[in-house]
Structure 1
Amino acid sequence: MNPLPRLALGVLAGACWFASAAALAQPYDQSGPLTRAQVRADLIEWRQAGYDPLDWVNYPENAQRAGAIVAQQRAARAAAGAPAGQTSQ
């Protein structure tokens, strides 16, 4: 076998290996793990936005609707300059 096709095959195999390794890599979460108080505050915020974890009949819709409301509220607080963990009561 000619050395040039072997080199091309090696480069192709290396590129495929690198692409698969990069695809399986987990993104780094800069926020880190949440505390119990942060999780409770997040749940309270979702419940105030209309999410009911016991409403399994309308599950995807009510979660998506509440998620959109929470995202809008967080964006409004970020635009106003309030800290991310602070909720308006």
Structure 2
Amino acid sequence: MYLNEKNQMFFVIRADIVAYLKCGNHIYIVQHPLDGNGKPDDHSPEYFILDANIDYSNDKLKPYSISESRFKETLEKECNGESLKGL
């Protein structure tokens, strides 16, 4: 799946993006991974902080999820309390 932010394309693993925020050089993303049937798994959200300068379409640069607490802590610290935008 691709998320277009300021005319740039960012690769995220196949999933249903729930919310995001562009802050500085990073994009903060909350998503629901897809289950074996290709449907979003609402019970296991994943958290990502992507570097806006990296092209994630290269499989070797596949982003990895981080813990919810680390995600929220970094979001609060780096984005001065800005809220995620729901899709």
Q: TM-score range by the shorter chain?
A: under 0.3
Q: Which one has a bigger Cα radius of gyration?
A: 1
More helix by share: 1
TM, length-normalised to structure 2: 0.24
TM, length-normalised to structure 1: 0.24
Q: Greater relative contact order: 1 or 2 (C-alpha under 8 angstroms, separation 6 or more)?
A: 2
More strand by share: 2
